[in-house]
Amino acid sequence: MRIRLDLAYDGTSFSGWARQPGLRTVEDTLATGLGTVLRMEPPGLTVGGRTDAGVHARGSVCHLDLDEPVWAAVPGRSDRSPGEALVTRLAGVLPDDVVVRSAVAVDGDFDARFSALRRRYTYRLLDRPHLLDPLRRRDTVVVRRALDVDAMHRAGGTLLGLQDFAAYCRARAGASTIRTLLEFSWERGDDGVLVGTVVADAFCHSMVRALVGSVVPVGHGARGTGWPREVLAGGMRDPGVRVMPAHGLCLEEIAYPASPVDQVDRARESRALRTSTHPEDG
């Protein structure tokens, strides 16, 4: 059986999603918790959006495969469904910086990575340090110079569409850097915090933080609104683009087709593309 897990985590104390020897990661922590609850070896997990060290998530999704008797046995003697029971039991073994919100059986062809239509991230910036909420210091990046949010919004809009984002991706051998950027917008909230929203079909390594780093100089007035587009056209990493700190970034949502049939079709299409171009999703 294929099981979908929806989860959230505070990335502060994690070395990213993916397992790494000797390091605390979300994948290893969750798999260990599942192994404890299900009384089995920690299962393999496939995630819809891999995050770097320090990056947070409110809307992450992963899947795992279980034998049907294992799934059926999760409630024990209770009258809860296996999904409800798994969520409750995981809450008892996972640390408080990881929460599994739901667990449901899905079609065997659903794929948390390949069935995804798009990923949505937010990035929080504050250019008025005296307004920082101490309770949000772990997810808000403070800068010391004033930012023009309208200029940043206009600059982000120049990058939309199907593009080769090599200038904004960390190079990996054989990996495609072609992505479709659907939204890159900015607004200032009532609390003074600037929130950037970045939506794409997929992201390559460090892409979101580099995109944010391209519009910050625009916000400071050091670059024109067309500069991020010029960097994109150059096709190479520009030293003027700073990869912004990880803790301001949060994976808010991974969107999937509504129907199982469409999810399967999407997975088939995405897998064919990934096989031919080897991109990394995030």
Active site residue 52: yes
Distance set, CA 168 to CA 67, 112, 180, 239 (Å): 42, 25, 13, 11
The span from the CA of 53 to the CA of 246, in Å, is: 7
The residue annotated as part of the active site, out of 6, 52, 111, 139, is: 52
Which helix (H) or strand (E) segment is 188 a member of?
A: strand 178-188
Half-sphere exposure of 9 (CA within 13 A, CB side): 31
Q: At what angle do helices 227-234 and 149-157 cross, to 10 degrees?
A: 30
Position 136, amino acid? R
Burial tier of 223 (Cβ tally within 10 Å: 0-12, 13-18, 19+) = buried
CA-nearest of 220, 177, 215, 179 to 197 is: 215
Pairing of strands 118-126, 141-142: parallel
Which helix (H) or strand (E) segment is 108 a member of?
A: none
Active site residues per annotation: 52
